[in-house]
Amino acid sequence: MKDVLRELKSLSLKLQRRETSLVDASCYIQQTIDVLTAMKISGGKSTQKVEEGIATGMFKDVELSESRPKINRLQFYQSIIDSLKKRLPEPDLVRMLKPLDKRFWPEQRSALILYGRMKYSHWQKYWGNRPKRPLRSFGTTK
């Protein structure tokens, strides 16, 4: 549980930053899902320490004995992962917002201009209307 809480704390702090955008939030949530998926299989740092302690019968100089039923680790991790997946922003919306973030812009000027024009048409289709003034300056400066 400590491993999961550590990851969720990290995610929470990232999401609370003032400069975090919807695209950033989507990336942070997906990264956390990926980390927890890996931990589900191999366990985190604390899980590995506890498993070593169980194998030896001692953990931090305390003798271990089973007295309560164990939590199903795989089910616990999957429950957290499923909960995070429900909180992921709409993938189409995130995909359409990426062009507004300079980090995702192509490096070459010609590719940048065409990139902006293609993405603009995607927005028109998504929102179901055609704005009166097209975004002519989109992608012309970097």
- Please write the tens of the pLDDT for every residue from 73-82: 899 999 999 9
27-60, pLDDT tens digit by residue?
899 999 999 999 998 888 888 777 777 778 777 7
pLDDT at 142 over 50: no
Residue ranges per structural domain of the chain? 2-88, 90-142
Give which of 118, 40, 42, 28 is closest to 73, Cα–Cα: 40
Residues 16-31 pLDDT 10s? 999 988 888 888 999 9
Of 74, 46, 71, 72, nearest to 60 by C-alpha is: 46
3-class DSSP string for 8-63: HHHHHHHHHCCCCCHHHHHHHHHHHHHHHHHHHHHCCHHHHHHHHHHHHCEECCEE
